[in-house]
Each structure stands twice: as structure tokens, then as C-alpha cells.
Amino acid sequence: MSPLLDVQNLSIGFGEDPPVVAFVSFQVNAGETLAIVGESGSGKTLTCRSILRILPGAAQLRSGMVKFGAGGAQTDLLRLTPRQIRDIRGDRISMIFQEPMRSLSPLHRIGNQVSEVLTLHRDMSFAQAKKDVLATFERVGFNDPERAFRSYPFEMSGGMRQRAMIAMAMVAKPDLLIADEPTTALDVTTQAQVLGLMKDLQRDTGMAMILVTHDLGVVANMADSVVVMNKGHVMESGPAPAVLGDPGHGYTQKLFAAAPMILEVAKPAEPMVHDDPILELNSVSKTYVMRAGGWRAQHQITACKDVNVAVQRGKTLAIVGESGSGKTTCARIALGAETPDPGSQVLFRPTADGPPVSINEMSRAEKVAFQRQAQMVFQDPYSSLSPRMRVEQALTEPMEIHGIGNRLARRDKAAEMLRWVGLNPDMLKRYPHAFSGGQRQRLSIARALTLDPVLLVCDEPTSALDVSVQEQILTLLERIRDGMGLSYLFISHDLAVVARIADEVAVMRQGVVVEQAPPETLFYNPRHPYTKALIAAQPEPDVNRPIDLNEVAFGAGSSASWPDMYRFEGTDAPALVQIEPGHKVRCHV
């Protein structure tokens, strides 16, 4: 039997340059899932887009065929007229994109955008199309399809929007679905649920799927066969169990080594010793009052409530949670960038024996000193460095602001910091655009270090990076922490990343800490349903350990469905209780 899709010798290039996709071949059989795995710049996205010929204007298709068709009749998609390929798009082959936030038009109702596929390809009236769309909405998990039909995208969460995108791609019952990093922008628990949904839909309809991803864990959960790409070339391909079970190519092995994993733990960790906190958040709450204006009524939003955490000197405290859990608010409060509600207390002890400074009641001099001692590393290395400043300027500016040293001394310090983060001091004269994402993140770490801080707040420092680069940055952060005696407050949505670097983890949900313990203890004996869901949702690059979707749906769902012990009553959560030394859980006892 011939495959549904047969890509042969596909090459794509720009201008005179060598091809960025070179002689790529793969097949997809009806009803199967193929995963294309690679890091940014591997050409995986261009490859999948060339199937529907959705390529940037400057891209040239240099060679190859994309044969598509069930049974005997196969056509080469690359040689269809624009009209013919339009009839295929959305009807027989549909596509889901990475960013659900931006892939839907904000000005049109969801129902309008989804039913358009049917009115376009099926010659249906709007009323007929609406019936089909509502059925699909129900299938992808909207509780109230009518309401979803009437909604605008900005009224939905990221996960809901991605479900709407999936509905849009599925409504015409295509033969092939191409999903380009469909879950990368989603929280890990949402990702698990969306992946589960895609798998169910595939089983129901028997369509084939091409899944483009950088995450081997996603591959293990979804794919029948795998193509590993690097720099435009196919490194390795074959059935998923074979490739994942025994990776042959060195590059695949490297990807494996870098994939963050939640380890099997034999015993819980020793409880953390809390005797020398450098930073203490004591019953910190933050309520935002949304201003009434025009016709809007005033209302309140609780970003975080009664948070009690402490960073020990020389250690790392990680705050983990999904978007909207309040973790970033905590970081901003810790740095004094946000004023917490009255009654909250944030204490900073620059030295072990010195008196503590209350961050919200600092004098001007204390504030200046604090701004030297506490620094921040940001999430997006592409936008946190000014493109118009040379590396030297970017690295010496903080010292200049604080009036430290003379010009020469500042430059020496900048060069020294570059060496610390594994870059060459020759690079001082360059502009940020000459650096890769990982190198840029090294630069922002170097910039944070130039003032000799004692506390570093890292806000998702690796989530914009490829897995192999993420691994390097985490190693670097560990080395710097131990080499310079720094303390970290580490914010992340990824429990597996945090597991590597943190000495203690606080899991946040809906603005409160639900569980707090050293990572090994959390993995050994997770108690709270939400922590269990986070651990279960982590895709493991092992075909024999699929995600337990029930566990995820249960813990990440509404707090009302949790067992009585953990249930929230309105906004009143139960107290955080120590259930064993160094392990606190928010539950009724």
C-alpha cells in the first residue's frame, strides 16, 4: 500500500545560500503519527509548511516531490496551481500552529472563524456549518459549545484557544493534520490534556498526523514514527520505539541527554535547614484593584495570598506554577518592584550576621544598596538586551549607574564576567544580534553578575531556549551559584527543569503555595493533587511511560473536584501544614 504522504528529496533554500532543508524524505501512512523532532534552526518548521506551501515569500523550493493521496491517485502538491492547493488546504490537509494566542483573529468570533472552513470547502449554508461546528466543539471539550461559538478569542485561555484551533483543523475531517509545536506555548498540564485530545481525535477519525516538536517527551507519547532533523538534514528516522529506545545517531543521543526528566527517587531528601535566610517573604499577599472606568465596574484580583517562603543563603528556592498562579508577582514583590498588601513583610539579609532590611520600608541609601545586591535574569534573551548597545556597553552600564570603578576597571570586570559565563572577552565589541539565543542568555546572566550581587532572581531563564541550550544554561547557573556563593529565587513552570537546580520547591496554584518541599521529597511523595498532576503531565521520552491523563485532569482541574482534604472553599484555602519534616502541604488535617 502506498503511503498517504510521500515526501522525497525536499530541498528549500533562501537566495544564493546553501539549502536550509536538504534532501529530506519521509512517508506518512494513513492513520499514523509522524513526529519531526529538532531544535530551532533545524528546518523542521519549513519542512512541514512546505507540504501546504505556506512558506515565506523569499523561500525557494529547490528540489523534491510531495506526493499526497489515498489509494492509487497521488498528486504532487508542489506542482498544483494556487487554486488547486487552496482546495486541499483546510479540507484534506489542515494545520495547527504554535501560538494559539495569535493564530486566531481577535476581531472575529470563534464560531465564525471555524465554520468558515466548512462554508469554504463544503458549500454549506452557515446554519448547516454551525451544526457541524457545535458538534466538533463538543468533541474537543467545550462544555458550552454555543457559548464558545459566540466567544472572541481573547475571552478564552490559551488551552481553550488551542482547542478551538484543533476544532478548526478537524471540522472538515481532513486526511492529514499537520501540527507545528501545538503545545509548546501551553502550561505542562494543559499540554498533557491537549495532547490527549489530539490522540483521541485521531483514533476516532483515522486521520494521519505530522507533529513537529522539539520535545522528545511529546514524541514518546504521540508518535508511531520519528524523523530527527538537524541543520536541514535528516539525522535519523524510524519507528518511535526503536529510535527512542535505542537512539543510533549521536545527535539524537545528545537530545536525549539534554531532555529534562523527573527522576525516580529512592528516598525523600533530608529536610532543608532554615537557619540562614537571605530573603524571607512573610505572609505576602497582593491584590490588584481593576480601576472602574467608562462603563466598567471596579473589581479585585488576588494575585497571591499569604505566601511564606524563604531563600536560604547559597541555595536555590524555586517557585513553580502555571501562568496566572502568582509566581511572577512573588518575584516582583521580592525585588521591590511591586508593593505587597499591608501586613506583608519581605526581609532581606545581605550578610548572615547583619540586620535585616525590610524591602518595602527601605531608605534611599538602602534601596541603592539593595539594587546592587539583588539582580534579575529575564525570560526572553531576545528582548532583554538592547539591540543598539554593544556588549561592553550593556555589561558596564549597571556599574556606571552605581558609579563603580573607572572606565578601565569596568571593562576588566565585564571581560571577567564574560569568562565566567563561558564567552570570550573578544566579544565585548559585538552587538547582541551576533549571538544565538543561548549566548544571549549568557550575556544577560553576565550583566546581572557585574554588580557582585548576592541574590539572583531568575524568571523562567530557560523557557525560551532549546533543550540542549537549556541544559547548558542550567549547568552554568549552578556553577556560578556555587562558585560565587549566590542565592537564587528561581521562577519556572517546568518541574523537571527546577528539579535539577532547586534545593527547595514551592508549588503555586491560584495564588497560594499548595505544596513545599525539596524536589526529591516532592517526587518521592507528592501529596497535593496539583503537584501530582504536574509530575504526571511531564512528558517522558520513554514510550513505555505515557502520560496519565486522568491524574493530570484531576489535579489540574477545578479545586472543587479535589478530595475533601485539599478542597478550597471559595478563595479560602486550607492552611499549609507540615506533614513530615521539611514537607508542607495545603490541606485540612
**Identity at 565, one-letter amino acid code:** M
Interface region with another protein, contact rule CB under 8 A, candidates 90-98, 425-433, 529-537, 544-552:
90-98
Name which of 274 and 299 has its Cβ closer to another protein: 299
Question: Least distance in Å: CB of 383 to another protein?
Answer: 17
Q: Are 507 and 320 in contact (CB under 8 A)?
A: yes
By CB under 8 A, residue 91 contacts another protein: yes
- Size of the residue set binding another protein (CB under 8 A): 38
Question: Least distance in Å: CB of 288 to another protein?
Answer: 9
By CB under 8 A, residue 116 contacts another protein: yes
The residues near 303 (Cβ < 8 Å, ≥ 6 apart) are 286, 287, 288, 326, 329, 511
**3-class secondary-structure state, position 71:** coil
* Residue 568 to residue 509: CA distance in whole angstroms: 11
By CB under 8 A, residue 326 contacts another protein: no
Q: Which of 14, 18, 102, 263 binds another protein (CB under 8 A)?
A: 102
* Residue 557 to residue 11: CA distance in whole angstroms: 45
Q: Which of 14, 60, 79, 107 binds another protein (CB under 8 A)?
A: 107
- Residue position matching grid coordinates 529565587: 489
Interface region with another protein, contact rule CB under 8 A, candidates 94-102, 252-260, 343-351, 492-500:
94-102
By CB under 8 A, residue 433 contacts another protein: no
Cell of 195: 495532547
Interface region with another protein, contact rule CB under 8 A, candidates 35-43, 81-89, 196-204, 256-264:
81-89
Q: In what order do the strands lie in the sheet with 583-586?
A: 374-377, 455-459, 487-492, 316-320, 504-509, 512-517, 583-586, 576-580
Question: Least distance in Å: CB of 551 to another protein?
Answer: 30
DSSP string, 1-34: ---SEEEEEEEEEETTSPPSEEEEEEEE-TT-EE
**3-class secondary-structure state, position 561:** helix
DSSP string, 190-232: HHHHHHHHHHHHHHHH--EEEEEES-HHHHHHH-SEEEEEETT
Binding mask 290-319 for another protein (x = CB under 8 A): x---xxxx-x-x------------------
Residues 50-69 that bind another protein (CB under 8 A): 52, 54
Interface region with another protein, contact rule CB under 8 A, candidates 289-297, 386-394, 414-422, 535-543:
289-297
* Residue 537 to residue 99: CA distance in whole angstroms: 20
By CB under 8 A, residue 72 contacts another protein: no
Interface region with another protein, contact rule CB under 8 A, candidates 85-93, 235-243, 505-513, 516-524:
85-93
**Identity at 554, one-letter amino acid code:** F
Name which of 88 and 279 has its Cβ closer to another protein: 88
* Residue 546 to residue 224: CA distance in whole angstroms: 13
**Identity at 77, one-letter amino acid code:** L
By CB under 8 A, residue 364 contacts another protein: no
Question: Least distance in Å: CB of 3 to another protein?
Answer: 22
Question: Least distance in Å: CB of 121 to another protein?
Answer: 6
Which residues lie near another protein (CB under 8 A)? 52, 54, 86-91, 94-95, 97-99, 102-109, 113, 116-117, 120-121, 152, 154-155, 165, 168, 290, 294-297, 299, 301
